[in-house]
Structure 1
Amino acid sequence: MANNRGHADLAAWLVASRGWTPLAHLETLTAARALSLLRSGASLHEGEPTPLQRAAGGEGEAAALIRRAAAPWSPASHSLFPAAARARAALLVLSLYEIHEQHHLDSAGNTNGIAALDFVACVLRFAITRETE
């Protein structure tokens, strides 16, 4: 229809974006909409090209959010993960706090000469994924 009405550029864009998911439409995504899609579990790896592939060289806030969401979980990227992953992170942090309190770890994380793991840096980044169910 776009070709029939003389809109060749639109027709080419429609063909090029045929396999895109909503998160891949970086040129039209606001940061708020990208955040909403990320928090509701939109995949970074589905579609052709994927949102992550498009964001790799993309400019703007939406592309930056997608690149941050692709990194391992961290407190800085927590808000970009789906609800299930955020809940898992909260549960694990609370569990660590309980362990800390039960074993009376000192401020350096030591008890009886045994060093505690830097839980966030060493464990949570591997335990929390975007696909957590």
Structure 2
Amino acid sequence: MFEATDIIHAYSRADAIDEGQLIDVSERAKHAGGNMMGFKVPVAMTSAVWESLVAWHCDGSPSERQQHEERRLGDVLYVAFEAASQQRNESLVEFIVDVLEQAESGPIVEPTHVVMTIGPGDTPEPVITIMLPEED
């Protein structure tokens, strides 16, 4: 039906990671929950998820920011891992992450709806992508 010359444009997962649209968190995801029982396939999250759930925008030194982001990333991956464990045979898993945000009145917890998909990446091998519900 189609031939290789018929492709007008292709945007790979590797391209999305190279351009910062996806953030590869595979190494950290292997240790979701602080143990070696984490994800066994590559995991990436969209830059929107990173900004909403992981990035720390409050005052502090770069090392404090990194510590906050590392904890927040660990929390997201732990909740994602637990949700995936409970919905083993699903290719789309929905879950909620409680995110601590700084407000003028003090810290508040913001529940954020997140989705995770598992399917083929640039090859037939499975990959996981964590994204906001409005992303595709």
| Larger helix share, 1 or 2 | 1
| Larger strand share, 1 or 2 | 2
Q: TM-score, normalised by structure 1?
A: 0.24
Q: TM-score, normalised by structure 2?
A: 0.23
Q: Which has the larger radius of gyration?
A: 1
